[in-house]
């Protein structure tokens, strides 16, 4: 916006509010809201209950185990489409050795790289993956949600294009709620050009208020807690 | 927004005569009301969250110039472009010029009421851009060349059979595609997926802009909002100038109540935060982000007695709660924004002249105010608009004349008693079994659909006078 345009906007709004130039400090901000926290022991059970109520699935993996992850992917993609996963950079995931285990199982791996957005053929190829496999920056017990920030090696499309989304999350990333998360980690809201809070599978109830899953995003969401 | 059709009463009569429409709207709004209540019951301190959210909205609107300035700086610092559009025409010109200069051919859109308000689709099409609505409900609306009848559930007025017929006639669906709602949803996914992959322009609305960080929050359930803001190389976000919150933490307060109030969900499935265009080291996302701040009458409302309507976060709870909306649906209002909040917002933005009927489309029962997550006093503003309307003499002459007579009678106790006694006698003379079946116009408006009960022969005052003459009863 040019300085002139901005000055015009400010003047128009200030005149409408009925005062001159705006003050330096905002005096009457209502401040922070204080809520009652969840009981500490309830988080894992609450997360599972909330996600399952939405039609998502919660898995526990006490020890990181690449073969167990691949066995899960293998089972999920059976009969669902090409044996291809669209993934985040392995270095960002809490389970080591996944690429080798995937190749051993005959599952091909695809990643989004800068420049891919310029080609329609490449986009279509990316959209052909059956599973998107990502990490997550946080999990929210109150709503059964996972929070994913975009970044290098952390493509948005991995949690968006394939019909099945599998997210691997370290257990210590489980917190009470979105409000609790942002209060402790306000930086997370701007950690990437895109930060998404995903609460269950894609859904719609537009037609006769009948619930239907997987309309544009993944119809299946699996959250694997590691550790 | 298109111009208000001739008669609100005509449209209401049509809607009331449509049993199928009333059935559909009544069923769905009842179900969403239950979901909303259950969701708020699950949230500890729900009322306190709502009070806090209201304070945040009031504060933001009172300092809107400052927060718009902050938002603009923050978005520009991230490499996004911001345009302030005083009018709908300014907003349209910005987007169509952008499409022309960037050679954009196909736009995918996620649900945006502001683009309905300024009728952006038609103008983009006229500028040579193919526009595809991608929210399932909005896609159906576009295929049917219809308008949304609810701000959250655009096709609440359509049956599954009507949608199936449209998909067959306009989108080439087969019987197998239309077997049930799940198959129809998958048909929409398959049909729209190639559009997402090929489009070069993504147009979205904005639920909240965060002033301190320049973050745009876009809430969707289907995932189309994410596709629209990730795949095309240019993303245009359209937002009303009032849709701001000061900080990310304030945003989380609004999100606690938005989904719960709108659909009874704890959070919408995709609560999407956009922080500028794609940086060089990220692999996907648009290379350009343009944020269009649409005023279109809002700043005029800011300093008025209707400013509170700008607190609205577009959850649609007041529509679902409103006994009038439940009966007539959204189209009868003749405005992009139906229901109680629309009956304030539409005249506020577009003038009372063309929409003077809307403030009367309410029984003032207050259900909208009770349902509103930020407790907007809609009935107060409906009354203020009715007063303005009366001053502008939009009421039929006989209402004004009748009220003048009533006032003359009511200000004097003796006249009031005499009139009451005469009316009661007249009623008894013309009634049968305590009910009056027929009254002359304009009172026939009542008796054409229901009987009128007769007044008691003895008035309250007469009974009171008689009672006070009785010997005083001793407390037992």
pLDDT digits (tens, 9 = 90+) for B385-411: 999 988 887 677 888 888 899 999 999
- A152 close to B (CB below 8 A): yes
* Residue B309 contacts residue B339 (beta carbons within 8 Å): no
Residue B465: pLDDT over 90: no
Residue A108: pLDDT over 80: yes
* CA distances (Å), origin B352, targets A150, B114, B343, B344, B358: 46, 20, 10, 10, 9
Q: What is the pLDDT of residue B474?
A: 60
Least trusted range by pLDDT, from B248-257, B285-294, B342-351, B412-421: B412-421
For residue range B304-329, list pLDDT tens digits in order: 999 999 999 999 999 999 999 999 99
* Residue B23 contacts residue B30 (beta carbons within 8 Å): no
Give the whole-number percent of chain B exceeding pLDDT 70.
Answer: 97
CB-based contact B248 A186, cutoff 8 Å: yes
The overall average pLDDT reported for chain B is 93
CATH number of A42-226: 3.40.50.10420
Q: What is the pLDDT of residue B6?
A: 56
Band (pLDDT 50/70/90 cuts) for residue B1 is very low
- A109 close to B (CB below 8 A): no
CA distance B2 to B147: 11
Write out chain B residues lying below 8 Å of A198, CB-based.
269-270
- B159 close to A (CB below 8 A): yes
| Ordered alpha helix ranges (H), B303-365 | 317-321, 323-328, 339-350, 352-355
Scan for tokens 């922070």, then name that residue: A32
Of the candidates A60, A35, A40, the residue with the CA atom closest to the CA atom of residue A48: A60
Which residue of chain A is at minimal alpha-carbon distance from B32? A209
- B87 close to A (CB below 8 A): no
Nearest to A29 among B59, B185, B266 (CB): B59
- A41 close to B (CB below 8 A): no
Residue B68: pLDDT over 60: yes
Nearest to B249 among A23, A182, A198 (CB): A182
Residue B134: pLDDT over 90: yes
Scan for tokens 């996600």, then name that residue: A51
For residue range A115-131, list pLDDT tens digits in order: 898 899 999 999 999 99
**Domain coordinates in residue numbering, chain A:** 42-226
Band (pLDDT 50/70/90 cuts) for residue B344 is very high
CB-based contact B224 A215, cutoff 8 Å: yes
Q: What is the pLDDT of residue B390?
A: 84
Band (pLDDT 50/70/90 cuts) for residue B61 is very high
- B147 close to A (CB below 8 A): no
For residue range A126-182, list pLDDT tens digits in order: 999 999 999 999 999 999 999 999 999 999 999 999 999 999 999 999 999 999 999
Least trusted range by pLDDT, from A19-23, A89-93, B149-153, B355-359: A19-23
The overall average pLDDT reported for chain A is 94
Which residue of chain A is at minimal alpha-carbon distance from B233? A117
Q: What is the pLDDT of residue B4?
A: 47
A 74-103 → B contacts, CB under 8 A: none
Chain A: nearest CA to B151, how far in angstroms? 12
Q: What is the pLDDT of residue B397?
A: 81
Chain A: nearest CA to B413, how far in angstroms? 46
**Domain coordinates in residue numbering, chain B:** 43-296, 398-469
Question: Three-class SS of residue B135?
Answer: coil
Which residue of chain A is at minimal alpha-carbon distance from B157? A208
| Ordered alpha helix ranges (H), B81-237 | 88-101, 113-117, 120-126, 136-143, 160-171, 181-198, 224-228
CB-based contact B279 A193, cutoff 8 Å: yes
Q: What is the ipTM of this complex?
A: 0.96
Write out chain B residues lying below 8 Å of A30, CB-based.
52, 55-56, 59
CB-based contact A215 B299, cutoff 8 Å: no
- B295 close to A (CB below 8 A): yes
Least trusted range by pLDDT, from A155-159, A185-189, B308-312, B424-428: B424-428
Q: What is the mean pLDDT of residues B153-171?
A: 95
CB-based contact A202 B223, cutoff 8 Å: yes
CA distance B370 to A19: 32
Burial B363-386 (b: 16+ CB within 10 A, else e): ebeebbbebbbbbbbbbbbbeebb
Structure tokens at B55: 């304070």
- A49 close to B (CB below 8 A): no
Write out chain B residues lying below 8 Å of A200, CB-based.
269
Which position has the higher pLDDT, B471 or B75?
B75
Rounded to two decimals, the pTM is 0.92
B 57-86 → A contacts, CB under 8 A: 59, 62-66, 68-69, 72, 76, 78, 81-84, 86
- What stretch of H or E contains B413? helix B413-430
Q: What is the pLDDT of residue B313?
A: 98
Q: What is the pLDDT of residue A19?
A: 79
Write out chain B residues lying below 8 Å of A132, CB-based.
none
Which position has the higher pLDDT, B430 or B125?
B125
Neighbours of B448 (CB within 10 A): 10
| Ordered alpha helix ranges (H), A2-112 | 3-17, 43-53, 66-77, 98-104
Write out chain B residues lying below 8 Å of A5, CB-based.
83-84
Q: What is the pLDDT of residue B399?
A: 81
CB-based contact B55 A30, cutoff 8 Å: yes
Band (pLDDT 50/70/90 cuts) for residue B3 is very low
Q: What is the pLDDT of residue B472?
A: 62
CB-based contact B269 A196, cutoff 8 Å: no
Give the whole-number percent of chain A exceeding pLDDT 90.
Answer: 81
CB-based contact B230 A112, cutoff 8 Å: no
Least trusted range by pLDDT, from B55-69, B186-200, B457-471: B457-471
Beta pairing class for B106-109 and B201-204:
parallel
CA distance B442 to B398: 9
Fold of B43-296: Rossmann fold (3.40.50)
- B281 close to A (CB below 8 A): yes
Residue B365: pLDDT over 80: yes
CA distance A226 to A93: 10
- B213 close to A (CB below 8 A): yes
For residue range B185-242, list pLDDT tens digits in order: 999 999 999 999 999 999 999 999 999 999 999 999 999 999 999 999 999 999 999 9
Query: Angle between the B413-430 and B397-410 helix axes, to the nearest 10 degrees?
Result: 120
């Amino acid at each position: 916006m040019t300085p002139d345009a901005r000055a015009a906007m400010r003047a128009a709004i200030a005149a409408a509010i009925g005062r001159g130039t705006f003050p330096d400090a905002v005096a009457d901000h209502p401040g922070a809201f204080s809520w009652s926290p969840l009981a500490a022991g309830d988080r894992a059970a609450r997360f599972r209950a909330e996600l399952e109520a939405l039609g998502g699935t919660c898995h526990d993996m006490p020890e990181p185990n690449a073969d167990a992850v691949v066995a899960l992917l293998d089972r999920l993609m059976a009969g669902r489409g090409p044996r291809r996963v669209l993934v985040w950079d392995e270095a960002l995931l809490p389970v080591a050795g996944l690429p080798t285990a995937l190749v051993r199982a005959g599952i091909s791996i695809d990643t989004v790289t800068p420049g891919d957005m310029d080609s329609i053929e490449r986009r279509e190829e990316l959209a052909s993956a059956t599973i998107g496999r990502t990490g997550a920056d946080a999990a929210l017990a109150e709503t059964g949600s996972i929070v994913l920030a975009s970044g290098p090696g952390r493509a948005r499309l991995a949690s968006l294009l394939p019909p099945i989304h599998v997210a691997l999350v370290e257990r210590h990333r489980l917190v009470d709620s979105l409000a609790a998360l942002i209060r402790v980690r306000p930086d997370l809201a701007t950690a990437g050009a895109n930060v998404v809070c995903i609460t269950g599978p894609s859904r719609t109830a537009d037609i006769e208020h009948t619930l239907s899953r997987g309309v544009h995003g993944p119809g299946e969401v699996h959250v694997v807690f590691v550790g | 927004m298109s111009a208000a059709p001739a008669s609100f009463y005509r449209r209401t009569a049509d809607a009331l005569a449509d049993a199928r429409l009333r059935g559909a709207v009544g069923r769905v709004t009842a179900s969403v009301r239950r979901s909303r209540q259950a969701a708020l019951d699950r949230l500890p301190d729900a009322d306190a969250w709502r009070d806090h959210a209201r304070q945040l909205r009031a504060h933001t609107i009172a300092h809107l110039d400052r927060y718009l300035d902050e938002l603009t700086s923050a978005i520009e610092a991230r490499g996004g472009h911001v345009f302030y559009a005083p009018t709908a025409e300014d907003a349209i010109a910005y987007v169509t010029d952008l499409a022309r200069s960037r050679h954009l051919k196909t736009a995918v859109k996620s649900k945006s009421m502001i683009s309905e308000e300024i009728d952006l689709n038609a103008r983009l099409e006229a500028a040579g851009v193919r526009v595809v609505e991608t929210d399932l409900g909005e896609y159906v609306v576009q295929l049917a060349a219809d308008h949304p009848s609810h701000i959250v559930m655009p096709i609440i007025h359509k049956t599954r059979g009507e949608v199936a017929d449209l998909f067959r006639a306009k989108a080439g669906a087969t019987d197998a595609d239309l077997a049930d709602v799940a198959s129809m949803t998958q048909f929409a996914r398959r049909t729209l997926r190639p559009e997402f992959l090929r489009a070069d322009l993504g147009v979205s609305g904005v639920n909240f802009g965060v002033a301190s960080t320049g973050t745009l929050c876009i809430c969707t359930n289907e995932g189309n909002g994410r596709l629209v803001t990730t795949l095309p190389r240019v993303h245009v976000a359209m937002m009303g100038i009032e849709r701001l919150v000061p900080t990310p933490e304030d945003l989380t307060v609004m999100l606690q109540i938005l989904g719960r109030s709108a659909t009874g969900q704890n959070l919408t499935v995709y609560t999407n935060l956009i922080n500028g265009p794609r940086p060089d080291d990220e692999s996907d996302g648009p290379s350009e982000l343009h944020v269009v701040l649409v005023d279109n009458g809002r700043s005029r409302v800011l300093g008025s007695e209707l400013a509170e309507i700008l607190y609205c976060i577009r959850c649609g709870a007041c529509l679902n709660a409103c006994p009038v909306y439940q009966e007539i649906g959204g189209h009868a209002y003749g405005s992009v924004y139906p229901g109680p909040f629309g009956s304030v917002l539409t005249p506020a933005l577009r003038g009372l002249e063309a929409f003077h009927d809307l403030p009367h489309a309410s029984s003032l029962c207050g259900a909208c105010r009770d349902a509103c997550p930020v407790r907007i006093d809609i009935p107060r503003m409906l009354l203020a608009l009715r007063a303005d309307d009366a001053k502008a003499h939009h009421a039929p002459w006989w209402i004004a004349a009748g009220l003048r007579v009533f006032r003359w009678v009511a200000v004097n106790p003796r006249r009031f008693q005499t009139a009451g006694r005469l009316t009661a006698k007249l009623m008894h003379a013309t009634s049968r079994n305590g009910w009056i079946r027929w009254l002359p116009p304009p009172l026939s408006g009542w008796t054409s659909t229901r009987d009128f009960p007769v007044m008691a022969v003895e008035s309250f005052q007469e009974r009171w006078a008689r009672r006070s003459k009785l010997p005083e009863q001793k407390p037992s």
